[in-house]
Amino acid sequence: MIAKSKLPFWKTKNMAEFSPQEWESLCDGCGKCCCIRLEDEDDGSIYITDVACKLFNPETCACGDYANRSERVSDCVTLTPDNVDQLHWMPQTCAYRLVSEGKDLPNYHHLVSGSRDTIHASGMSVQDAVVSEELVDEDEIHHRIVIWPGEPDINK
């Protein structure tokens, strides 16, 4: 049996106990959470698109102004230990969601693989696969619904 001290922090601590550095390190850098979502008014289904927030950099798969994102994008959600369980629209593959649900991190996660490039090499990120919301007419976004790898097709 592995000693508790040898286990990684996400297996030994409650999310509320994570240090700020541990919390930030949990992000796998997939970028799926930065994609625009649409909600069906009739049944509440959430659909994800290949249209990303205007601050998202598709090459680095990161926010271009992370420190000021909430001020610059009014509907940007800051993920916290207090709200992670309530954000059901978060990607199924999101490390925060997985850990909050008591699941382990996938092999492509940088905390497991040792490389931040593994998620991109595995095809589990949106790197270079999205377009900025500034380049898409709002009336056209519903034509850009996609199913990213690792996410369920809710229409099946």
Q: Is the model's pTM score more than 0.85?
A: yes
> What pLDDT, on a 0 to 100 scale, did the predictor assign at position 155?
55
| Residue that has been written with the tokens 């696969």 in this structure | 129
Q: Quick one: CA torsion of 124, 19, 36, 136, rounded to 10 degrees?
A: -90
- CA distances to 4, 89, 113, 115 from 99, rounded to whole Å, are 17, 16, 17, 19
Q: Between β-strands 46-52 and 35-39, what pairing exists: parallel, antiparallel or unpaired?
A: antiparallel
pLDDT band at residue 7 under the 50/70/90 scheme: very high
**Residue 117 confidence (pLDDT):** 96
pLDDT band at 2 (very low <50, low <70, confident <90, very high): low
pLDDT at 116: 96
Domains in the chain: boundaries: 14-144
Tens of pLDDT, residue by residue over 99-139, are: 999 999 999 999 999 999 999 999 999 999 999 999 999 99
The model's pLDDT over 61-89, given as tens digits with 9 standing for 90+, comes to 999 999 999 999 999 999 999 999 998 88
Q: Please, how many CA atoms are within 13 Å of residue 30, restricted to the half-sphere of its CB?
A: 25
What is the rounded average pLDDT for all residues in the chain?
92
